[in-house]
Amino acid sequence: MSEEIKKLEEKSTGIIKQANEIVIISQQQYTAAGVFLKGVKGLMKEINATFDPIVKKAHEAHKEAKAQQKKHLDPLESAERTIKGKMSNYYLEQERKRQEEQAKRDEQARREEQKRKQELDEQAKKWEEKGRHEKAEERRALKEDVMVDAPIVAPQVEEIEGVSMREMWDFAIINETQIPREYLIPDEKAIRQVVKAMKAKTNIPGVKVFSKKVVAA
């Protein structure tokens, strides 16, 4: 630790305690507090003057390190995006084919189920024509149990250890006027700029303007 920094540390030690012990119930104490405040601000100025060059040097070193890191990472991230895009396209194409095949099997199963039920209807009709109503009802009752399940088409892409395909949901705003109010965030930065400029003359619906006194030194 340099001698200059050591002196600053000695000066700043106890500042909080002194500030907590100050009591202001008279003009004299108010004036004394103002003198103390200016002393605090002066010490802050000394500290900034001492550490700003150090901070600046560290910041510049950090920026340079980040720039070098980015220089090496950029081509890798580009390669990552390229490979991920190609893998995603392949996966989606295989999934499309799987769904297409599954739809065909589902349709075949539906037709087979319909065919079996129709056969039972025809059998029931023949029994009715023979006057065997009890047999006809038995055939119709069997229709309720007819169910043909389509074979499930297995995923076409095998999983790779350490690599997974996860589903991500996103959104696009197509009509801002229809968005519910609870999803709208007021632009506080823009409002604050107007308030600072217009002060008491500010007229923004839904916004209450007020002032407050703060001590400046």
On whether both 121 and 48 belong to a single domain, the answer is yes
Q: How far apart are CA 124 and CA 105, in angstroms?
A: 29
Does pTM surpass 0.85?
Answer: no
On whether both 91 and 129 belong to a single domain, the answer is yes
Number of domains in the chain: 2
**Average pLDDT score over residue span 112-138:** 90
**Average pLDDT score over residue span 20-47:** 93
| Higher pLDDT among residues 167 and 94, named by residue | 94
On whether both 198 and 139 belong to a single domain, the answer is no
**Average pLDDT score over residue span 136-155:** 90
> Above 90 in pLDDT, residue 72?
yes
**Residue 217 domain flag:** no
On whether both 144 and 187 belong to a single domain, the answer is no
Q: How far apart are CA 38 and CA 76, in angstroms?
A: 54
Q: How far apart are CA 115 and CA 123, in angstroms?
A: 12
Residue 65, token pair as written in the block: 């390190």
- When pLDDT is cut at 50, 70 and 90, the band that residue 1 belongs to is low
Q: How far apart are CA 103 and CA 111, in angstroms?
A: 12
Domain that holds residue 88: 7-150
On whether both 29 and 120 belong to a single domain, the answer is yes
**Residue 157 domain flag:** no
- When pLDDT is cut at 50, 70 and 90, the band that residue 169 belongs to is confident
